[in-house]
Amino acid sequence: MFKYSFDALVYHGQEDVSDSIKRLEKYGYDAIELVGEPDDYNTKEVNTLLDSHGLNVSSICSIYNAKRDLAHPEASKRRAAVDYVKSVADMASEVNCPVIIVTPTANGKTSPLANREDERKWAVEGIREAAEYARKQNVKLCLEAWNRYETYWLNRLDQALDLNAEVGMDNVGIMGDTFHMNIEEENIAEAIRNSGNDLIHIHFADSNRAAPGIGHIDFLPALKALNEIDYQGHITFEILPASADPFSVMRQGGGSEFFDEYTKKSIDYIKDLESKLYKELELKR
Ligand code: LER
Ligand code: MN
């Protein structure tokens, strides 16, 4: 049985976190993915709400902008980025969250500001330092690959595996996001299978970043692959507005469909496919 969560990015700033938690309970979710803005949460209050609605925090979606670029040529900017990841790790430990998302470059950085190899080296150093810190709090980091319109660098899971091997820390893994994978991978299910135990988190959205079922990704092979690798993380729906800069759109309200409509559609659609998958496996026995 897969565990399901929903990325609160589209709710964030539009409603109180208590309303988000109530919505996720109503539609049968196991957990919430919180937004990596530690100053925006009172973690004690969040824990009380989570307890009373029977939800966990699956993960934290960190926000990497120009001020949080782990690969920036300026040392002071890299320091700010590493300190930011540490602050998200602190928040994670306060809400019992096992994994936080890390991407080595700012969102929208589609070409390097310095030599690519130097940027990689700086990012590796920063990720290692943040991982050492997070390990003491029992928090894992997962490296998320983004499509080419959001980053020049980490676009596919094989590249994330490679970066993970170079970082070489036992509390760092990788994650996929089917929206990005649909653009960059040869085959989504194969990429999941090849990631094996290193895949510790995943975002699901359809090809147009709407709720699964609204675009043209075939999610059944992806679920089969997750089942084959005995995936233990959550399936987290990250449904975002149709913009190369979804954050600026969301600041003005992403759209009413992201609340009840997509929250319900996402889990209903994938749970149906999950049942189909188990029936197929049962028939094969
Ligand atoms: C964050 O999880 C992500 O996938 C980025 O594309 C945000 O724009
Ligand atoms: Mn994502």
Ligand 1 close to Cβ of residue 177 (< 6 A): yes
Dmax over Cα atoms in the chain, in whole Å? 58
Q: What's the Cα-to-Cα distance from 273 to each of 213, 259, 269, 276, 279, rounded to whole Å?
A: 10, 22, 7, 5, 10
**247 has a pLDDT exceeding 90:** no
Model confidence at 253, in pLDDT bands (50, 70, 90)?
confident
pTM for the whole thing?
Answer: 0.97
Integer Cα distance of 170 and 54 in angstroms? 30
Which H helix or E strand runs over 36? strand 31-36
The candidate with the shortest Cα–Cα distance to 147, out of 192, 99, 108, is: 108
Provide the 3-class DSSP secondary structure of residue 246. Answer: helix
Integer Cα distance of 81 and 34 in angstroms? 19
Q: What is the pLDDT of residue 270?
A: 98
Kindly identify the ligand whose nearest atom is closest to the C-alpha of 101. 1
- Residues classed as catalytic: 144, 238
Ligand 1 close to Cβ of residue 107 (< 6 A): yes
Phi/psi at 225 (5° precision) = -65, -40
Model confidence at 255, in pLDDT bands (50, 70, 90)?
confident
Could you tell me the distance, in angstroms and rounded to a whole number, from the CA of residue 146 to the centre of ligand 1?
A: 7
Ligand 1 close to Cβ of residue 144 (< 6 A): yes
